[in-house]
Every structure is written in C-alpha cells, then in structure tokens.
Chain A
Amino acid sequence: MSLLEIKNLSVEIEGKKVLNGINLKIEKGEVHILMGPNGSGKSSLIMTILGYPGYKVCAGKITFDGIELNSMPINERAKLGISIAFQTPPEIRGVKLRDIIRISGGKSLWNPQIEPEEEFATPLLKKVGLEPAQFRDRDINVGFSGGERKRSELAQIFASNPKIMILDEPDSGVDIDSLKTIGIDLGEYIKRHNCACLIVTHYRHILPYLNPTQAHVMCGGKVSKSGSPMEIFTRIEEKGYCEYLGLCPPGIKEEIERELVIKN
C-alpha cells in the first residue's frame, strides 16, 4: 500500500475539466517533482489532494495511508499528515505567526499566563531563519517578503510533523542564499523523518538538496511523462515543454494558426 495513491483521478471546476485521469503513487520517504507548463493542472492536483472547495472529483479516488480522501474536509486531511507550503499564502490581519505555527503543531494559541515565554513556535522560527523576536508577533504574511513567506510556510510544515509535505514552488521569488537555507532545511527534515514530498517547481536549483526520486510532467490535466528528474529537467531545458511533450499546450496551437491565417 502506497502512502499516497491517486487512481484515475478526474476533476472539474465549475463544469470545466481540469484533471483528466491522473495516476500517481508516492511511497514513504520518496521525493517527487511535479512539472508542467502554466495551466497544465499542477495546482489543481495539489488543491484536490488538499480538499479545497470547488475542485469536484468526477472520477477516480485519492487514498492516503489506506484511507480514502475524496469527501474528507481540508482539516481532516491535514490531521492525517498532509501538510502544504503554499506559493502565495494569504495575509490574515490579527492572526499571529506564532499562533498559526502552534495550530499547525496541534497546540492552542499562545497564552502568556500559562506559558510566559513562548516555547513551541520560537525554536521553529529560529530553525527556518526567522528572528523570533521580530516575527513571532507579526500578523501572518502581512508585509512579509517572498523569502520570509517561504520560511514561515516551512516553519508551519515542520510544526505539523507531516507524513507528506506538498511544496508549491518553494523556490520562486527566493534569492540564492535563501534557496540554499530552505533546501538544506528541507533535505535534512525529509531524511530524518523519512517524510514523503511532492514538489511543484520549474527549476532544478533546489533538487541537489532534496535527492528526488521521480519527476512527472503534466500537460492538459494529465501526467504526460514520468522518469528520472535530472534527465527530464535536462531535456526540458534544452527543448522547452512544447517540443519535449510533442505538442503545444491546449489552445496555443490553434491561436498560432489563427494568427497565421489573419496575417496571410
């Protein structure tokens, strides 16, 4: 039994099919890379795994640790050990970073009367390179830089002690130094906890830190290719998605043809 198993999954948003017969298996401790051109269905797949509203499963199923997720609410899935680092997490005024880290770890909100010095979020903030005194009491994501958001997301993931972590473009909008810190932190965590990982990325820079098992390339709501991450990256970098996949992303081909007709 795989940790995460997706079988023949098809999903619609407001009647429009966005995933079309996805199959994917991730075992404990495996690191999978998810790639694909914009609009290919990567985010839809992640959101469906998380259980976001609006992503209607019309066929297939997702199981995690042998439990079917299809109709389970987001928070129940989180409790099973599915944790996500969002690419652009929302700002929430008045909700403190320390509290969301505590919530991720199943703790109650910080109460200085019971716990004069905050002891749960503080070491995690240090671990991800956010100065606790400066960030602990900040409103979540309000005024955070790109790198600070990524680190804050990591602190929340680490707090939750997940069985699988889903990382949505952990390397976008991050400078080279931050990328290294994030990569090292993630790599260590995955190794130490034998944690599975599904990473959406367009770049190879973070790969050396994570030792990925497999890469999957999505196109038109399907997994078009799977294989060795380094090999796939090299070929995509050489040829681009269109040529590598042997087709243009949906709609683009027709658009080019239309433009040619107009010009001629």
Chain B
Amino acid sequence: MNWKEELNKKAADVQDKPALLGPDVDMKQFKGQSLPGQTLTGQDFQLPQDVAAWVKTVGINPDEDSRSGTFFQQDHSVIFACRKKEIEGVEVMGTPQAIKQYDWLKNYYWKAVAVDTDKYTSEAETHQHPGGYFIRTKPGARLTLPVQACLFIGTQGLLQAVHNIIIAEKNSELHIITGCTTHPQVKKGMHIGISEFYIKKGATVTFTMIHGWAEDVEVRPRTGIIIEEGGTFISNYICFKPVKSLQMYPTSYLVGENSRVRYHTLIYGLGNSLLDVGSRAVLSAKGARAEMTSRIIGQDSARIIARGHLVGEFPETKAHLDCRGLLLSSAAQIHSVPELEAKTQGCDLSHEAAVGKIEEAQLCYLMSRGLNEDEATALIVRGFLDPEVPGLPEHLKQEVRKTIELTSEKVM
C-alpha cells in the first residue's frame, strides 16, 4: 500500500466519526456529481458576467487587477489556476495536480490536519472529485500583490470538498485572498475545506478569507498552520452572509522560536445561521506570540459561538485573546468561550471578552448629531467591524475595507 492508499484507508475508517463541535451533518443528502472539467492555464481568466459580479463580494477580482495569480474552482472543476506571467517566485495549481507533480508533497499532505479528525476530513480524502489549491512561494520570493483563490458552488445541493496546501518557503512573503461562495441561485449545499499552511523560517503569510454562503449551506473547514522560526501568519476571516451552519476551529502550531500568529475575525450572523467559530494557537517555542481579536454581531435569530484557545507549552511565550460581541436583536445569541491553558511556567496568557447590545448612550449621542436610530445603529456597527488588522499591508487593508463595504451594503 502506498502513502496515498494508506491515508485513504485511514480516512475511510472514520467516515461516520462525528466532529467534536457543531451539529452533525448528514452528508448523504448532498450530491457528489457534476463532473470535473478542464483546468485552463496560460489563457485569460474569464468568468460569466453574473458570476464575475457576484464573486467580487467575496474579494475576487475577475480582471485579476492587483493580483499575483488566480485559482478558481467551480463545483469540482478547476476553471483556472495560474500565476500571472510577469510574477515570479510563486506556483498556483490544483492540489491533485501538485500531488502528481511533486512526490515530496507527501511530507505536507495531512501533516497539519489529521486525516482521521472526523467524518468531514474523511470525506475530503475519499471524495470522488478531489479539488483545492496548492500555492507555494519559492525561498526569498516576496510577493506584494495577493494571490486570489475562489471556491465556488454553482450547483444546487452539491457537496464540494477541497484540500488546500500553502507553503511559504524560507524568507518569502505571500498574501492570499480566498473567497468562498455559492451562485446566487444556489441555496443548498455543503463545503468541506481542508487547509494546511506551512510557514517556513522567516516567512510571512497573510490569509484573508471571505465567506459568502447561502442560508441552507453547511460549511466545515478544517485548518492547520505550522509556523517555523521567525515566521508570521496573519489570518483575517470575514463572514457577513447567512449560512445554515458553519463550524471551524483553525489551529496554529507555533513550533519555531519567535514565531507569530494573529487572527482577526469579523462575523455578522444573520437569519437562522449557526456559527461556531474559533481560533486556537499552540505556543511551543521560545518567544512565540499569538494575538486573537474577534468582532461578532448577532442579528435576527443567529446563534454564534465564538471560541478561542491559547495553549502555552513553552516558557517565554505570550498570547492574548480579545472577543467583543454585539447583539442587534433579542432572538440572536452570542456565546463567547475563551480558554487559556498554560502547561508550563513562564507563559503569559490573557483574554478579555465583552458581549452586549449597543449602548443607549452611544445611540443617543449619534442621534443628537442628527442621525436617526437606524443610521446611528449602522454607523456603530460599521465602526465595530472596522478591519484594523495589524500587519496587513495598507493596499490590502484598503481592499478588505472595500470588500466589507460591498458585502455589507445589503446588511447595513
């Protein structure tokens, strides 16, 4: 049995294993069909007009302006995967193709996330049409423009399973914008996304993920990040559209000295969404640092569980978690679950959390300046979600802001 077959068997063994968190999804209700199509490289990136307009709301630039490269997967078909001609030092391709091309990839595949974690990792490994992207920067390559990746569901009731591998080689710099969404007419479906990040010595990766699903879509991302000495990972997660249920708990393993991770999470829970979203950092080397901030809004009947878990396994480590939640309706719920776990002396772990409704004093103050109640609420909410992500380059910050404006137009 080769390594791939071994992994496949391991995955098959846990096909019914429920996840530790989140409602259990019966995956039989979703379709696996919709045949994979052809990967197009070396040609212009072109999308149908309606799709092009739609994916802009999740940060995807259909004309590839200000991008280093693009990956676009619709259902099970990789429509496009290519770096821009003039950009050197980065590879963008589908993961199945990368596995064929690079034998060494077996040293990364399922090494940051365990294949037997639960039935969803099992499904991702055993899925009939595997997909996902492979992005790798070469040593020393510093890309200022982001690579964009879009995972798009265009068929009603489809189960899309992808496995992404991102490798930032030594001293490289990589920015990724990932937009995950469904076609406006698709209401039901499921997305399983495995993402494994490898941040080598001195490398920096910023990862901005924008989710824009539909109200009957189940989402189960499984993410692991391994950060070596002096490496930095910055995650910026944004979800402003309703979803049936979404459960994720990305985990960073800070294994190198002076490695860094920052998570910034912006969630606007709408409709009947159930969002169980956390971030975890395991600090296991001297000087490792983690910082997590989340800004959560609960409207309508949305239920949001905001988790954070800091694990100190080594002295001289430091981590802080900051979670703020705002309830905009009496039927919405926010449950903040911060966890600090010190396994040795000398780790400095802290958290602050505050959940409540908009303060009347703030509303009245803005109204005394001439805004009506709805306008005042919108301004406070917009301010609450202000994406001040330390470490994100200015042009990306501007772009995230624009995307938030675009995404939130209908909400606020």
Contacts and interface: CB of A to CB of B under 8 A. Distances in A.
Interface of A: 50, 52-53, 73-75, 78-79, 83-84, 86, 89-90, 92-96, 99-100, 103-104, 106, 109, 139, 156, 160
Given A90-B359, A90-B362, A95-B379, A74 B386 contact: no
Secondary structure at the B interface, as helix, strand, loop or mixed, is: helix
A200 to B, nearest CB: 15
5 contacts: A75-B371, A79-B370, A86-B365, A92-B366, A109-B379
A90 B385 contact: no
Contacts of B369: 75, 78, 100, 103-104, 156, 160
Given A53-B364, A90-B359, A92-B365, A78 B384 contact: no
A50 B360 contact: no
Contacts, number: 68
A113 to B, nearest CB: 10
Contacts of A109: 379
B370 A53 contact: no
Interface of B: 359-362, 364-373, 376, 379-380, 382-386
Looking at chain A's contact residues, is the secondary structure mostly helix, strand, loop, or mixed?
A: mixed
B371 A103 contact: yes
A75 B370 contact: yes
Contacts of B361: 90
Given A92-B380, A92-B383, A95-B380, A73 B368 contact: no
Nearest to B388: A94
Given A93-B384, A93-B386, A103 B365 contact: no
B368 A139 contact: no
A86 B365 CA distance: 9
Given A90-B365, A103-B366, 14 more contacts: A50-B364, A52-B364, A73-B373, A84-B368, A92-B365, A93-B386, A94-B382, A95-B379, A95-B382, A96-B383, A99-B379, A103-B369, A160-B369, A160-B370
Contacts of A50: 364, 368
B383 A139 contact: yes
A30 B366 CA distance: 27
A78 B368 contact: yes
A156 B371 CA distance: 13
Contact of A75 (B362, B372, B383): B372
B285 to A, nearest CB: 33
Contacts of B362: 90, 92
B379 A75 contact: no
Contacts of B364: 50, 52-53, 74
Nearest to A54: B360
Contacts of B371: 75, 103
Most buried by A among B366, B370, B379: B370
Contacts of B376: 75
B386 A94 contact: yes
A75 B375 CA distance: 11
A94 B384 CA distance: 6
Nearest to B383: A94
Contacts of A73: 367, 372-373
Contact of B366 (A100, A139, A160): A100
Nearest to B398: A112
A29 to B, nearest CB: 23
A78 B366 CA distance: 10
